[in-house]
A and B are shown apart, each in its own frame.
Chain A
Amino acid sequence: MGGAIVGRRIGLLLAGLLLLTGGLAGCRPREEKPFPSRPITIVCPPAPGGISDTLTRALAAAAQPEFSVPVVVENKPGGANAVGLNYGAHSAPDGYTVTYVVAELAILPHLGLSPISPDDFDLLARTNYNPAAVTVRADSPWRSLPQLLEAARARPETIRAGNSGTGSIWHLAAVALQEAGGARFKHVPFGGAAPAVQALLGGHVDLVCVSPTEVQAHVEAGKLRMLAVLTTQRDPLFPDVPSARELGYTLDIGAWGGLALPKGVPADRRERLLAGFRRAFGQREFQQMMAERGVRLAWLEGEPFRRFVQTQSEANRRLIARLGMNLTRGDVGPWYFPRLLAGLVLTLLLATAVVGVLGWRSKVRTTIRGGVGSARYSMLEEAEARTMSGGAWRIGVLSLLLIALLPLVGFLASCTLFLFTAALFSGRVRVWQAAVYAGAAGVGVWWLFGSMLGVSLP
C-alpha cells in the first residue's frame, strides 16, 4: 500500500516535470528574422470542396514560392461563415494569418447574426466576383427576363424562386431582381446552391438566381435556360445571355471573395503580403486553373476594394430591411418545431417517470429475462457498478483536466500527461511502464494526426 503511495508521488513529480518541459518547448526566444520567416496561414471560412476552398488552396500553392515559406489553408466552417470570419478578424495582427473574406461579411451584420463587419478587417484585395444569373427550366414558358417579370407581376407570389438560404447572397439577388422589376416571387430557401438547382431540375421550384458556374452543365445539356446575368457585363462563359443593364435594369449583384488582415498589421508586412499575393494571382497556371473551374477572377486592391465592400454592404442593408417586411406565407415559423418537441419531450418524460414508479416492483421480473447480452444489465452488476463507480469518476475528471490543459500547454504535453496519470491511477502499472506508455502513445497520436494528416493541433 505504501509503495503505491510513493509510486503516486513520484508519478505526480514526473507529471509536473513533463508539464514544465512542455511549457518550455512552447515558448521559444523572440525571433528577429525578416518577414515572413514562418508559415503563413490563410483562414478559409467555407468548408473544403467548394469554390472558395479551391481558390484559396490554389492561391496558397501559387504564393508559396513568392514568400519562400509554406502557405497553408485552414478551413473554419460554420454559422454561415460567421465562425471563420470571427476567427480571422481576431487573429494575431502579425501578418501570419490572412483571412479569405467572402460576400457574407457584408451581409451578416445586417442580419444581426454576427458582430463582425467589414470595418473589423484591413481589406487587402478582392480576388473574384461571380455575378448572379437568372435561370429557369428549358421547358418553362419564359424565354426572356422581361417575360418572367411580367408573369410575376401578373400573379404575385406564385412563381417559386429557389435560393441558397435566407439572407444568402443568392437570396438577396432574387430580392434585388424582384425589386428592380416591380414583381414578387415566392422565395424558397434551400441549404445551398446545389440543392436549389436540384429542385429546379426536378420541377419543385421555377427559377434560381445563382452563379453561371453552378448551372453551366445543365444549360449546356439543354435542361435549363439562362435568361440574364444580373450585372453590367455579359458573362464570358455565356456570351449569348444578356446582362441586366442591356435589358434596362440597374443591377450588379454577385458573390465575391478577397484577402484581408486583422486590423493592426505593420505597414511593411502588409505591403509584403499584398505584393506577394498580387504576383501569385498573376501566375498563368493559377489563372488557367480558375478559368477551368469557372471562377471569375477580378483583382481589385486598396481603396477601390474598400469602396466596393462598402457599396455591397449598403445595398445588402437596404435589401434586408425590405426582406423583413414580407415574411414567407405558409411558413410555421422558427419556434414551431422547438415548441412542439419541447412539449413532446416533457410529456414523454412525465410518462416515463410514471411508468418507472409503477413498474418498480415488476423490475426484478423483467431484468431476469433475456439471453447472454442482457445479463450485463442484471441488477446484480448494477449494484456492483454503483460500488465501483470510482473508476468512471477518475477517468472523467482526468479527461476534463486534459481538455482544460489542451489550449494552455499544447497537445503533446497535455495528452502525454493525461496518458501517464490515467495509466498510473489505474493502480496496475509501475511508474516506468506508465511513462513509456504515455510517451509512445502520445507521440504516436501526435505524429499520426499532426504530421501525417496535417491537422493543426494546438
Chain B
Amino acid sequence: MLPKLFFGYYAVVITFLSVLIITRKNPVHSVMWMLLLFFHIAGLYLFLNAEFIAAIQVIVYAGAILVLFLFVVLLLNLREELQVKRFVGSWPAGLIIAAGMLAIVVNVIKSFTAAPRGIYSIEYIKNATHTKALGQVLYTEYLFPFEIASLILLVAIIGAIVLAKRKLRS
C-alpha cells in the first residue's frame, strides 16, 4: 500500500509539473518548474534502486543542462515574451496528435509481456553496490560506446563554440 501511495505522489507531481513547464508564459518560470521536475524524477529513480542514475540526473540535468538553459533565457532578455501569445495557431492539431499517440501507446502497454529476468537481482546489486555493478558492465561490455560518447561530447564542445561565436573581422 505504501509503495503505491509513494508512486502515486510522484506520478501526480511529475505529470502536473510537466504540464506547468509547457504552459508557462515566462521561460524562467518554466526552467524553475523543470528543476523541481528533475528532482522528482531523481526521487523516482531512487525508488527503483538506481542510485547512480539518480545522482547523475541531479548533477547533469539539474546542475548543468538547466543552468545552460537559464543562461540562454537571461541572455536573450525576453521582455516582450510576456505580452505575446504562447501557442501557434494550429495548437488543437498538436493536441489531437499527442492525445492519439498517448492512447495508442497506453493500449499497447496493456499487452506487454516481460522477458525472462537477468542476473542483476536486488541482492546482487546490494552486495556489489550499484555504482560498482554498473561500472563493471559499462567498462567491459559497453567500452566502445563509452568511447564514442566522449567523442560526441568533444563534437558538442567545438560545435557550440563555433556556432555561438561572432564573426571575426580581419
**A, B co-complexed:** no
Interface set of A (CB-CB < 8 Å, partner B): none
